[in-house]
Amino acid sequence: MSEQQQLQSLVQELQMIRGQIQSLTSQMNEISLTVEALKTQSKDRAVYRALGAILLEVEDRDALSKDLEESKKTIEPHLVRLNEREAEIRAEYARVAENLE
């Protein structure tokens, strides 16, 4: 594979990883906002959870909060790995680009 092709491949991989990072970051932010909203929501007001195309009333807020926190714990390490991979690709890109000059 030529260095030019390698650069193009690295750019494509970097774009894919950036998209995944943005998506997971958005999910993390949404979960965090939801957890905070649950904490401030009055106990006498109904809370709903989306399930497919419908909303279901949540009876157990603590279980919902726990589920949301578990989701964050699942996403966080994946996000860390993606950020590490992004840094590796950027370093590899810089190395290949330098050799190309």
- pLDDT tens, residue by residue, 49-84: 988 999 999 999 999 999 999 999 999 999 999 999
Per-residue burial over 39-77, b if 16 or more Cβ lie within 10 Å, else e, is eeeeeeeebeeeeeeeeeebeeeeebeeebeebeeebee
Inter-CA distances, 98 with 3, 11, 33, 86, Å: 10, 15, 43, 18
On the question of pLDDT at 10 being above 90, the answer is yes
Whole-angstrom Cα distance, residue 88 to residue 92? 6
On the question of pLDDT at 86 being above 80, the answer is yes
3-100 maps to which CATH number? Answer: 1.10.287.370
Segments making up each domain of the chain, as ranges: 3-100
**Pairing state between β 54-57 and 48-51:** antiparallel
For residue 13, the model assigns a pLDDT of 96
